Amino acid sequence: MARKKYMLGFSPELVNEPIVYRLVKDYDLKINILRAEVKELGGRLLMEVEGKSPNIKDAVRFLKETKVDVKELVNYVEMNEERCTHCGMCISICPVEALTMDKIVWKVHYDADKCIACGMCIDACPPGAMTFRI
């Protein structure tokens, strides 16, 4: 079994299509939706996919053929060290303790391996130091 994370971009005409349903039914994948946004110009979906590697590969091919913009995410949220003021506001917001305070130097540390890209710190950070890397 393999597990991967993808950011999908949908044009307005694809937003109401049962694409996630097709991924589950036709490719036997487990889908965990981490974040979803629908706007006038289309939608974005951040999801974690679990399944057999060939099935994931076929599913990605299906998405591309359907004109869904597909990007595999490896390290998908990043901290801009220059912008961060180490105010600590994001620490209690993060549901997986990916943001912690280093109490020796009193600086906030971001652990990308723990991050599930929920986006909560992005919305909460006053200077916009946390961003999606797409």
Of the candidate residues 96, 102, 133, 134, the single one contacting ligand SF4 (CB under 6 A): 96
Q: From residue 7, how far is each of 18, 59, 74, 90 by CA, in Å? A: 17, 14, 10, 23
Of the candidate residues 28, 30, 85, 133, the single one contacting ligand SF4 (CB under 6 A): 85
CA dihedral 105, 118, 67, 133 (to 10 degrees): -10
Interface with ligand SF4 includes 46 (CB under 6 A)? Answer: no
| Region from 24-32, 44-52, 63-71, 110-118 binding ligand SF4, contact rule CB under 6 A | 110-118
The residue behind tokens 């180490």 is 86
Point out which residues pair with 111 in neighbouring strands: none
Q: From residue 76, how far is each of 22, 29, 45 by CA, in Å? A: 25, 21, 13
Interface with ligand SF4 includes 34 (CB under 6 A)? Answer: no
Minimum distance, C-beta of residue 87 to ligand SF4, in the bound complex (Å): 4
**Site residues for ligand SF4 per CB under 6 A:** 77, 79, 84-90, 93-94, 96, 98-99, 108, 115-121, 125, 127, 129-130
